[in-house]
Amino acid sequence: MSIWILSNCVFEAMKFQGFWRSLCAVSGGSLATYVGLKVLERNQERDGYHGGHELISSSGWSHDWDQRKLVHQKISNQGSFEAEPEAVALRHIVLVRHGEYNSSPDGGHLTELGRLQAHRTGQRLHEMGVTWDHVVASTMSRAQETAMIILKQINFDPLKMKRCELLPEGTPCPADPPQNRSVESVEQAFRRDGPRIEAAFRRYFFRASPEQKEDSYLLLIGHANVIRYLVCRALQLSPDAWTRFSLHHGSITWLTVWPTGYVTMRCLGDAGFMSISELTHRRPKANVK
């Protein structure tokens, strides 16, 4: 697949997220910033896309990984906007993997143990004592079922939860070391899933705008491959390292985005609130008769 074709795929994936991003940008950030972001998305289509690898700097941490300064610079050069005030708020992004599930054509349903894991996770999130500003879940059945159980524990209105078509499970990019699959199947899966999952990163990972004065908490409920890729991208690690760590069902990963552009990880795959007997990370094996 050529870089130009892949670029078009990414832009199409980013376009159908536009309405949600528009509301977020206009209500939680300045209109100028939103316009700038749309200009940058157009530039990404023109310049080509490299699966996020172009954002991994070999010379050290890039503080402008979300291109906030670049957006402001482009807008300021037009001479129509004043200097943007400094941001002060933190954005906490908590990612939860769904509970254990059995396979089915619609994405799988939670097992009895999976429902217990989701309950334990919900209790743990409740104990954090924070106010959840947004809860977003993958559209796959196992993630939706996990979310419904968690929402009861954290007292979050199910009608306010968003269902995101960018978050379902998939192959975000070729892995290093390679997966135990044929090169053809990996390439096909990546072409199908990669641009969508990268678009999920760009939708949910960014610094708070200067208009946001209080710290915010976003809860994303999804899948292991997607979460692992998002972690690598957020920490500016090579995205192809996503298979080098595993996540338990119902585990919690917590990332914090600072106003400076720095990103820290509070925990990765935390499942210490479950007993050893409740820990799983693979689907249960089918009984062979």
Q: Is residue 145 marked as binding?
A: no
Is 102 flagged in the annotation as binding? Answer: yes
Q: Could you tell me the two tokens for 273? A: 């609130």
180 is in an annotated binding site: no
**Cβ neighbours of residue 248 closer than 8 Å, sequence gap 6 or more:** 97, 269, 271, 274, 279, 280, 281
| Angle CA 167–173–177, to nearest 5 | 130
Cα–Cα dist 153/219, whole Å: 13
| Residue type at 217 in one-letter notation | Y
Dihedral sign, Cα of residue 160, residue 166, residue 170, residue 171? negative
* 204 annotated ligand-binding residue: no
Cα(222)–Cα(167) distance, rounded to whole angstroms?
6
Terminal alpha carbon distance of the chain: 44
DSSP type of residue 51 = T
Helix, strand, coil abundance in the chain, percent, nearest 5? 45, 15, 40
**Interstrand relation of 134-138 and 216-222 (parallel, antiparallel or unpaired):** parallel
d(CA 274, CA 18): 38
Instruction: Give the C-alpha separation, 159 to 98, whole Å.
Output: 19
Alpha-helix runs per DSSP H in the chain = 3-15, 18-28, 31-47, 68-76, 112-127, 141-154, 183-204, 224-234
Helix, coil or strand: residue 273: coil
97 is in an annotated binding site: yes
Q: Annotated binding site: which residue ranges?
A: 97-102, 142
Q: Annotated binding site for substrate: which residue ranges?
A: 97-102, 142
